[in-house]
Amino acid sequence: MDPQVLQQLHDIQLPDPIGWWPMAFAWWILLLSVTSIIIGIIWYFTDQRRRNVYRRQAQKSLQQIMQKQASDDNKIMQINALLKQVAVTAYGRRRVAALHQNQWLEFLQDNASYIPQPDVIKQYSQLAYAPPSSQNAELTDAWHDYAQRWIKGHHQ
């Protein structure tokens, strides 16, 4: 081969690297999917937070009731009224308003069946007719604990 011909050859020229823009169709699909999933997750959690505002407010009210300087009987009645208010908010006035005494306790149990009701709570219906006693402190604590768990975990 002639050396002049060899000298006329140039080095191999590499093509320019492939740029990332414009993206391929598959990348657009992936980007759209990830964006949709993120938006869905954000929407779900904000919706859950909005739906549970009444629970957070009820928990604060429950703490305020327990911090008040009132008799145990009065605290029990206020806790019961708060539970009734939460139930009306969650289940509607027609379903809850007429419930009283044992029907009310059964309603509470049915809508949070995995939360066991303390046996002492069943005494609450007789509380209005009984004189104040030392057992009312135990009943107040039981109502408070049960109400706190019920507000947090009732079905809807």
pLDDT band at residue 46 under the 50/70/90 scheme: very high
47 — alpha (psi -120 to 50), left (phi > 0) or beta?
Answer: alpha
User: What pTM did the predictor assign?
Assistant: 0.72
pLDDT tens, 89-111?
999 999 998 888 888 888 988 88
**Is the per-residue pLDDT at 18 higher than 60?**
yes
Q: Where do the structural domains in the chain lie, given as residue ranges?
A: 51-153
Cα(112)–Cα(132) distance, rounded to whole angstroms? 30
